Structure 1
Amino acid sequence: MTQPTPLRKAVACALLVLGAHATTTQAAEFHLYVKCKGTLSASGKSKPAHLDLALRDNNTTALIQRSNVLPKGERLVYTQTPTDYTMVYKLRQPGTHYYHDWLNGSWVIWQPNLKRLATIRLAIDRQEGELEGELLDFNDDLIGTLQMTCEKVDPDELPEPKL
């Protein structure tokens, strides 16, 4: 077995430094973390709802970090105006596979009309922190609404991952 040359050691150290820098860059990609709590209402019934988003400035992407109204891990494109952040989530057409844990789960059972859900439109007021959302069917008819209060969260105060 041969001893590593000084050049190999230098290259290995440089790769480690670049890898560590890439990891910190990945962690700092999002500029705004938002936690929202409120209600989902449909046909006179309502249910508690929550939505945690991480927003990225450079490509206007919103990552769903935790929610019981949208699938966790999905990325939405948002539009930023001086007053609002707006975004749209389109569900897949009927007959395709849905996320079992949220569409076939508890939030559809309490309101059968939500089985026709096709689009969710969201708007977060940047001054007031209020989220308003519309749940639409495939004909763009309103079948439900979302009303939430959102607050900015410091990413340094978020809990560490368990795994």
Structure 2
Amino acid sequence: MNNAVATPAQNTNIHFNETQWLQALFLLADTQSWLQQLQEGLIWQLPVKHRKKLLRKGSYLSSKALAHILERHYYKVPRHPLTGKFTIPIPQIVACIRDACQQPPQPLPVPKGAGVPCSPHLQRVLDTGTPLGHDTSGNTVTIITVITSTGGEIITAFPGIIPPQQDL
């Protein structure tokens, strides 16, 4: 039985090039900062009042999330035909997302029989009082649901509510 203890020198990767690694790290950090600036500039171009609220930590709308929302839930993008679709212009969609994020967060509905939540995400639901589009059943809806992380980052948004789970 060998009782030898590994030394720090034995635990290091002999192929690690610190200089190259630092260059890659700084390049990624600079690129990430640049992309962040581009993303915020894109949000600032939208003709939406109080758009700054969408860049707060508590209700952050990333370009990735907005692209997901529009790809999946905007009627002019012919993908995902079985999902709810917004039929209002993009600036209005963004304004509704902004307004919904002012609502108190609620846990996502627990599927019947699960007993415990399946997701740590939260939902914010707002009835705008005006038609936004149609839900998954094709019904005209005035409600928007915004799903966020517990930290407030917007993950998705769609017209209507999360449909109740059916008994299996």
* TM-score of the two chains, using structure 2 as the length reference: 0.29
User: Of Structure 1 and Structure 2, which has the larger fraction of its residues in strand?
Assistant: 1
